[in-house]
Structure 1
Amino acid sequence: MSPGPAFSDAEVERYARHLVLREIGGPGQQKLRAARILIVGMGGLGAPASLYLAAAGVGGLVIADPDRVETSNLQRQVIFTTTDRGRSKVDAGLRRLTDLNPHVETQALQLTVDASNARDLIDGFDLVLDGTDDFATRLAVSDACTATGTPLVSGAIGRWTGQVGVFTGRPCYRCLVPEIPPEVETCQAVGVIGALAGVIGAMMALEAIKLVTGAGESLAGRLLVYDALSAVTRTVRVAPDPHCPSCGGDQTGGV
């Protein structure tokens, strides 16, 4: 890959802490500027993840969410303010991201990502972050990423526990969650500690930056689980499912 255009003086100043970082430097920052990333869900996880990716200098950032900002969102969805109540999340988020870093090309999609549109939407992106709170969307995004060969960073939170996984082929997210669980707790019903969304969302952004720049060792094939009440983090391997309809066998299922 040939290097992109030279950074302007304003970009050099903005990304100075990356440029002197051995694992990123100029080549890594060029990769970030060339990257096109989709964030599905602008809730508790998409909010901090999008802020950190915009701040990091990701060149193309697209955010997708069908919802509008509600007062109850403000406890954890830190990209929004009180005056954003009633606005679409993607429009409010787009304004904040542009204010944070005008060098990033941002786009807002006020839509629901599902099995009918996920593959066409995801095809062409370098990376997808999924911070949604329903399994139907998560599985649709995972299947589409598997079908298009797009790396996926997936995050989830509940009460006091969060998790981050990276899926770059086999295993895929469907190997971990084959189908929608019959009983699912929602944050609305059982609650969630607000700061946990920031922790997991920032981890998602960090894994995305590592994938794009090639820095360090990614979580690919592993799941990081964080218990905030006990301040304990553990990482477990995700085993490929040989019968997975998305990434296993003859791959006749999926999207």
Structure 2
Amino acid sequence: MARDAAGVPAARQPGPRDRREGAAMALPALVAPGAALTAAERRRYARQLTLAEVGEVGQRRLKNARVLCVGAGGLGSPVLLYLAAAGVGTIGVVDPDTVDESNLHRQVLHGQGDIGRAKTASAAAALAAVNPLVRVEPHPTTLDVGNARDLFAGYDLVVDGTDNFATRYLVNDAAVLLGKPYVWGSVLRFDGQASVFWAAHGPCYRCLYPEPPAPGDAPSCAEGGVLGVLCAAVGAVQATEAVKLVTGIGEPLVGRLLLHDALRMQQRTVALRRDPDCVLCGPRATQRDLLADYAYFCGVRPAAAGDTISPAALRDLRAAGGDPLVLDVREPWEHELVRLAGSVLLPLDRLLADPARVAELPADRRVVVHCKSGARSARALAALRAAGRTDAVHLDGGILAWIRDVDPTLPGY
């Protein structure tokens, strides 16, 4: 399947099946109306109540809704803020992380005073300040195979604001198996994507991406960067889609993929079809349950013995007089921001494009490769080993682990 620069299927000419699949369509409201609105709710939601499409019944549906947001980061921030402001009665927040200073340019749910605080706790406080009439249920844990079913079962729909493929496939699979709709979004650099996956009415995420990309082929936001305000644009789309699903208004993005180009300020939609060979939602589906290990499915393999060196072991090796060549395979701007003393910069793309560069490395020094967190250095290690440098290893956890375990005075990012 042809893909564009953002890694999504290229636009195609509409086909005869698009009237049924990939065409915009209205769906019934997902949630029944809740209790009558109070005087305080009428005052707060007055501008929303005046919309004939929403009205009192729609607002009562929002009041009765239970929405789970996976991730309280760049996308989760606008999603959570706007769902709370809209009056979604119960909002669940799943996130195992704490707030870091590098989050603040895009994760507007959190502030300077929240650095080091659990994101779920910070989110709960922020949402209470926005709208004390809604209930927030924090889940300060990693979403995994062991808890996904139980977490999803307690909510009407799921909004996915995560930034890694293992969790995206897990969210999709759990949603399909439980019959739940979920709103998906993704951002990288200046490009964003959003869709609604609901197997009862259209394709699932696996219909779009049957297989995950190879590790390192699709950089994370930490590696590729992201324009902070892009999160607001895509997160607002996700929040809008959630409100539409709950209330039954408009035509949700089921069977359609929205592409947002921030640099050109253009949006377009691509029609999506259910994959008849989808292992999860197709007519001949073979996957009947959650996979045992989504990280393994996405190509994240446990490091083999002898492949890595811990930050503490590298520190001790240098202190004992060892003189390893520390090879930094990050980008030049990352190397300028923070580096290990004495490290040599050779960005991964240059190394992979010209394997002969390996021969330029001194043969009498052991090579220790590092990147930010370990993904790029693992690919570099494979290239070094293939070129005959069998003594090479890579730094477990990258420079972030070095900062955490060895030298916390270095700036993080």
| TM score, norm. by length of structure 1 | 0.97
Stretches of 4+ aligned residues off by more than 6 angstroms: none
**Displacement of 1:7:** 1.4
> What are the within-5 Å matches in structure 2 for residues 110-129 of structure 1?
110-129=140-159
Q: Alpha carbons of 1:181 and 1:116: their partners in 2 closer, same or farther (altered >3 Å)?
A: farther
Q: Which runs of 5+ in 1 are unaligned?
A: none
How far did residue 65 of structure 1 move? 0.5
Q: Does 1:184 align with 2:214?
A: no
Offset from partner CA, 1:25-77 (integer Å, 9 cap, x none): 00100000011000001110001100000000001100000110000000000
Shift of 1:178: 1.6
Aligned-partner residue type, residue 178 of structure 1: P
Aligned partner of 1:203: which letter? V
Find the counterpart in structure 2 of residue 206 from structure 1: 240
Q: Distance in 2 between matches of 1:130 and 1:56?
A: 18
Q: CA deviation at 1:177?
A: 1.4
Distance 2:37 2:125 in 1: 24
Deviations 1:3-40 (A, max 9, x none): 53321111101000111011100010000001100000
Measured against aligned partners, the alpha-carbon deviations of 1:86-122 in whole angstroms (never above 9, x if no partner) come to 0010110011111111111111001111233222221
Summarize deviations over 1:125-166 as a string: whole Å, max 9, x none: 111000100000000000000001101100000000001100
Q: Identify the residue that residue 106 of structure 1 maps to in structure 2.
A: 136
Write the letter of the residue equivalent to 2:169.
Answer: L
1:174 maps onto 2:206 in alignment: yes
Q: Which letter does structure 1 place at the counterpart of 2:263?
A: L
Q: Which residue of structure 2 aligns with residue 48 of structure 1?
A: 78
Superposed displacement of residue 249, structure 1 = 2.7
Structure 2 residue 220 is matched with structure 1 residue 220: no
Partner of 2:44: 14
Cα separation, 2, equivalents of 1:23 and 1:113: 35
Aligned to 2:410: none
Contact 2:32 2:61 in 1 (8 A): no
CA distance in 2: counterparts of 1:3 and 1:167, whole angstroms: 23
Give the match's secondary structure for 2:252.
coil
The reply to whether residue 64 of structure 1 matches residue 98 of structure 2 is no
RMSD between aligned residues = 1.3
**Correspondence 1:197 to 2:231:** yes
Superposed displacement of residue 179, structure 1: 2.5
8 Å CA contact 1:114–1:136 kept in 2: the answer is no
Matched, 1:142 2:178: no
Structure 1 position 74 matched with structure 2 position 104: yes
Choose between structure 1 and 2 for higher RCO, CA contacts under 8 A separated by at least 6 residues.
1
The one-letter code sitting in structure 1 at the alignment partner of 2:211 is E
Provide the identity percentage: 50
Q: What is the number of equivalent residue pairs in this alignment?
A: 255
Amino acid at match of 1:177: Y
Q: For residue 104 of structure 2, give the secondary structure of its aligned residue in structure 1.
A: helix
The code of the aligned residue for 1:190 comes to G
Deviation at 1:124, TM superposition (A): 3.2
